Amino acid sequence: MNPRQTLEDLINSVSGLLPEPPSDGFRQNLRAALRSALDRAELVTREELEIQEAVLARTREKLEQLEKTVAELEKKLVNS
């Protein structure tokens, strides 16, 4: 999804809730306020989220493998 289009859609939605059509100045102020709020929110794209999910899944797999290895080594240590 295009972030610029999403911002415009949000502005249009807010503008549609107003009893009178907003002036250009109002729309510019609204755009600046929304952009500032979204920048502070530190949002990530869907693609960035999916990449991090994949990294986390691989990390979980490695952790599970290491836990198995440690358990096997502990078992061998107890049995020797």
Residue 1 DSSP code? -
pTM over 0.75: no
Q: List the domain boundaries for the chain.
A: 1-43, 45-80
The reported pLDDT for the residue numbered 27 is: 78
Whether 2 has a pLDDT exceeding 70, the answer reads no
pLDDT digits (tens, 9 = 90+) for 7-24: 788 878 877 777 777 787
Q: Which of these, 27, 25, 24, 29, lies nearest to 11 by C-alpha position?
A: 27
pLDDT digits (tens, 9 = 90+) for 42-80: 778 889 999 999 999 999 999 999 999 999 999 999 998
Q: How many CA atoms lie within 13 A of 1 on its CB side?
A: 9
CB 44 within 8 A of CB 56: no
What span, in angstroms and rounded, lies between the C-alpha atoms of 43 and 6? 13
Instruction: State the CB neighbour count (10 A cutoff) for residue 10.
Output: 14
